[in-house]
Structure 1
Amino acid sequence: MTELHPVVTSSSETAPTRFLATEHRLLVPVSKTGGVLSMFDAGVVPAGFAPPPHLHLREHELFIVSAGAVRFTAGSTVTVVEGSGAAWLPARLAHNFEVLADARMYVITVPCLAGGVGGDFERFVHAVSAATSGPEVGAAQTAELVAQIGAAHDIPIVGPSPALPGSA
């Protein structure tokens, strides 16, 4: 077993990674937790942002909202977090969210299989960033890239993107 050490990181200490309409900062990399979890500071996610419905095959996802308003849809459950709160989205459950008012958000992913190693979402964020940086990439091409990269990282897209500004 890998010996674990504390990880204490300030958002200002990490470089931003452009991820769709957001800038994610990796606060706790999966490599520093023995595969137990990873955590991103998603910064202020703009109103109107909504990823396509998707699921994570091997990771649970925990969103922490510290300001703003976000509607989470997970399976048949629809809940709005206003101000501050959290949403736990289990692996293999189709979900998405819609930012109703600019929201300060954090994302934590945890492997769902005993002895599993996380990092699917962490690698997905970096791959999407690399594929969509550079010359202007249109919305249709971005959606196609997100679907391809998601499938390669066990995060399949299971529905169309909502027709909202800033959507993937």
Structure 2
Amino acid sequence: MTAAYLAQPEHQQQLEWLDGSTFSVLLDKDATEGQLTVGRFDVAKGEAPPFHMHTREDEIFMLIKGSALVWAGEEEHELREGGIVYLPRNLPHSYRITSERADLLMIATPGGIEGMFRHAGRDLTTPRPDGFEIPKFLMAEAAELHGAVVLGPPR
């Protein structure tokens, strides 16, 4: 069945992610009949995920606010405010935020990548333990369960 889905901000799950960043699940696979995931990152300067690739989905990132370096394969590019990048599945990639803060929109197709964030991230509706940090083993487990392959450290 095809149906529209409206998610007001209060219905969007917010998760603490790497280096204290926030990942908001705007639309997940359940809301889009498996077609896509839409998420939004609020990140600080220096935030950088490991160099990795996704085997199940293509990703699109749009930098709403801020600046970043993006690696796609062995190419390095500067992504400025309003810039957008398409990362097909199986293409190794990463980024590093170079502005003080960044607002980054992510679209992945097909949907399901939100499971990785939910598996390792901390739901912001729960109390934050002192010194909370996502353990490396949990990050690796989440990546493996959701078709992401960590290829190396952040760039």
TM-score after normalising by structure 1: 0.79
The separation in 2 between residues aligned to 1:130 and 1:17, in whole angstroms, is 5
Q: Write the letter of the residue equivalent to 2:90.
A: R
Q: Using the TM superposition, give the Cα deviation of residue 130 of structure 1 relative to its aligned residue in structure 2, in angstroms.
A: 4.7
Partner SS state of residue 147, structure 2: coil
Q: Write the letter of the residue equivalent to 1:122.
A: E
2:117–2:142 contact (8 Å) kept in structure 1: no
Question: For structure 1, which segment, 11-20 or 52-61, has the greater mean C-alpha deviation from structure 2 after superposition?
Answer: 11-20
Pick aligned residue for 1:156 from 143, 149, 153: 149
Partner SS state of residue 80, structure 1: strand
Pick aligned residue for 1:58 from 56, 59, 79: 56
The ranges of structure 1 where at least 4 consecutive aligned residues each deviate by more than 3 angstroms after the TM superposition are: 10-13, 133-138
1:11–1:25 contact (8 Å) kept in structure 2: no
Kindly tell me the number of residue pairs found equivalent between the two proteins.
Answer: 149
Pick aligned residue for 2:139 from 132, 135, 146: 146
> More helix per residue: 1 or 2?
1
Matches of residues 83-94 of structure 1 in structure 2 within 5 Å? 83-94=81-92
* Alignment RMSD: 2.0
- 2:127 corresponds to 1:129: no
Matches of residues 70-81 of structure 1 in structure 2 within 5 Å? 70-81=68-79
Q: Could you tell me which runs of 5 or more consecutive residues in structure 2 were left unpaired when the two chains were aligned.
A: none
The separation in 1 between residues aligned to 2:85 and 2:26, in whole angstroms, is 19
Q: Using the TM superposition, give the Cα deviation of residue 35 of structure 1 relative to its aligned residue in structure 2, in angstroms.
A: 0.7
Q: Using the TM superposition, give the Cα deviation of residue 79 of structure 1 relative to its aligned residue in structure 2, in angstroms.
A: 1.2
TM-score after normalising by structure 2: 0.85
1:109-162 CA distance string (max 9 Å, x none): 102xxxxxx30x21000001159x646356xx7233212221121111111234
> More strand per residue: 1 or 2?
2
